[in-house]
Chain A
Amino acid sequence: MAKHIQVKDLDIYYDEFLAVQGVSMTIEPRSVTALIGPSGCGKSTFLRSLNRMHELVPKAKVEGQVAINGRDIYGNNVDPVDIRSEIGMVFQRPNPFPTMSIYENVAAGIRLTGARMKRSEIDDLVERSLRSANLWNEVKDRLHKPGGGISGGQQQRLCIARAIAVDPAVLLMDEPCSALDPISTQAIEDLINDLKPDYTIVIVTHNMQQAARVSDTTGFFNLADVGQPGRLIEMDTTAKIFSAPREQATEDYITGRFG
Chain B
Amino acid sequence: MPLSETPSAVARPRPRAGDRVFAGLSTGAGLLILVVLAGVAAFLLVEAWPALTAPPEEVPGGRGVALYVWPLLFGTALSAVFALLIAAPLAVTIALFVTYYAPRALAQGLGYLIDLLAAVPSIIYGLWGFTVLAPATVGPSGWLADNLGFVPLFAGPVSATGRTMLVAILVLAVMILPIITAVVREAFRQVPRLHEEAAHALGATRWEMLRMAVLPFGRSAVIGASMLGLGRALGETMAVTIVLSVSGGVTVNLISSGNPSTIAADIALQFPESTGLAVNTLIASGLVLFAVTFAVNMAARTVINRRSEFSGAN
Task: Please name 10 further chain A to chain B contacts, defined as beta carbons within 8 Å, in addition to the given A88-B201, A97-B216, A98-B313, sorted by A numbering.
Answer: A56-B200, A58-B104, A85-B203, A89-B201, A91-B201, A99-B216, A99-B217, A99-B312, A109-B203, A166-B202
| Cα(A99)–Cα(B310), bound, Å | 4
Are A93 and B194 touching (Cβ within 8 A)?
Answer: yes
A4 within 8 A of B: no
Task: Please name all residues of chain B whose beta carbon is closer than 8 Å to the beta carbon of A91 when the two chains form the complex.
Answer: 194, 197-198, 201
A41 interfacial by beta-carbon distance below 8 Å = no
Which of A51, A98, A101 interacts with B311 by CB under 8 Å?
A98
Give residues of chain B (187-223) contacting chain A, Cβ–Cβ below 8 Å.
Answer: 192, 194-195, 197-205, 208, 212-213, 216-217, 219
Q: How far is the CB of A152 from chain B (nearest CB, A)?
A: 12
Taking a contact as CB atoms under 8 Å apart, the answer to whether B194 and A97 are in contact is no
A84 to B314 alpha-carbon distance, docked (Å):
28
Name 8 A/B residue pairs within 8 A (Cβ), A-sorted. Answer: A81-B203, A89-B201, A95-B192, A95-B197, A97-B199, A98-B311, A146-B310, A159-B198
Tell me whether B198 and A112 are in contact (CB under 8 A): no
Q: How far is the CA of A155 from the CA of B150 in the complex (A)?
A: 55
Q: From residue A202, how far is it (CB to closest CB) to chain B in Å?
A: 14
> B309 interface residue, CB < 8 Å from A?
yes
Bound-state CA distance A223–B199 (Å) is 31
Q: Tell me the interface secondary structure of chain B in the complex.
A: helix
Query: For window 63-106 of chain A, which residues contact chain B by CB distance below 8 Å?
Result: 81-86, 88-89, 91, 93, 95-101
Contact across chains for A109 and B202 when beta carbons are under 8 A apart:
yes
B200 touches A146 (CB 8 A): no
Q: Give A163 to B199 CA distance when docked, in angstroms.
A: 10
Q: Is A148 an interface residue (CB 8 A)?
A: yes
- The residue of chain A having its C-beta at the shortest distance from the C-beta of B215 within the complex is A99
A122 on the interface (CB 8 Å rule)? no
Asked if residues A95 and B195 are in contact (CB atoms below 8 Å), the reply is: yes
Closest Cβ–Cβ distance, residue B198 to chain A (whole Å): 5
> Which A residues lie within 8 Å of B202 (CB)?
84-85, 108-109, 112, 162-163, 166
Q: A-B contact count, CB below 8 Å?
A: 80
How does the 8 Å CB contact mask read for A160-180 relative to B, with 1 for contact and 0 for none? 001100100000000000000
| Alpha-carbon separation in the docked complex, A53 to B309 (Å) | 30
Task: List, in ascending order, chain A residues with CB within 8 A of B104's CB.
Answer: 58
Chain A: minimal CB distance from B192 (Å): 8
Q: A91-B198, A97-B213, A108-B212 are in contact. Are A81 and B205 (CB under 8 A)?
A: yes
| B198 and A95 contact, CB distance less than 8 A | yes
A227 close to B (CB within 8 Å): no
**A binding-site residues for B, Cβ under 8 Å:** 51, 53, 56, 58, 81-86, 88-89, 91, 93, 95-101, 108-109, 112-113, 145-146, 148-149, 159, 162-163, 166
| Residues on the A chain within 8 Å of B208, using CB | 112
Within 8 A of A (CB), among B276-310: 309-310
Q: Do B205 and A148 have beta carbons less than 8 Å apart?
A: no
CB distance from A81 to the nearest CB of B (A): 5
- Across the interface, do A53 and B203 meet the contact criterion of CB distance under 8 Å? no
In the assembly, what is the distance between CA of A96 and CA of B216, in Å?
13
In the bound complex, do residue A56 and residue B309 qualify as a contact, i.e. CB atoms below 8 Å apart?
Answer: no
Q: Report the bound CA distance from A99 to B196 in whole Å.
A: 13
Known contacts A82-B203, A99-B217; A145 and B309 CB within 8 A of each other: yes
Q: B314 and A148: CB pair below 8 A?
A: yes
Contact B204 A98 (CB under 8 A): no
**Contact in complex: B216, A100 (CB < 8 Å):** yes
Within the complex, the shortest CB–CB distance from B138 to chain A, in Å, comes to 46
State whether B201 touches A51 (Cβ < 8 A). Answer: yes
Bound together, the chains give a CA A86 to CA B202 distance in angstroms of: 8
In the bound complex, what is the Cα–Cα distance between A162 and B312 (angstroms)? 18
Measured between beta carbons, the chain A residues less than 8 angstroms from B203 are 81-86, 109, 112-113, 166
Q: For A99, give the chain B residue with the smallest CB separation.
A: B216
Which of B104, B192, B200, B203 is most buried by chain A, counting CB atoms within 10 A of its CB? B203
- Whether A53 contacts B314 by the Cβ 8 Å rule is no
Q: Which residues in A have their C-beta under 8 angstroms from that of B192?
A: 95
Assembly CA distance A56 to B216 (angstroms): 21
* Closest 10 A/B residue pairs (Cβ): A85-B203, A98-B312, A99-B216, A89-B201, A95-B194, A84-B203, A109-B202, A95-B198, A146-B310, A99-B310
B204 → chain A closest CB, angstroms: 6
In the assembled complex, the CB of B200 is this many whole angstroms from the nearest CB of chain A, namely 6
Return the chain B residue nearest A82 by Cβ: B203
Query: Would B198 and A99 count as touching, CB distance under 8 A?
Result: no
In contact, B194 and A146 (Cβ under 8 angstroms): no
CB distance from B70 to the nearest CB of A (A): 41
| With A84-B202, A95-B194 as contacts: A149 and B314 at CB distance below 8 Å | yes
Nearest Cβ on chain A to B202's Cβ, whole angstroms: 4
User: With A and B bound together, what is the CA distance between A52 and B201 in angstroms?
Assistant: 9
Q: For A98, list chain B residues within 8 Å (CB).
A: 195, 217, 310-314
Query: Are A53 and B200 closer than 8 Å at their CB atoms?
Result: yes
Residues of A within 8 A of B213 (CB): 97
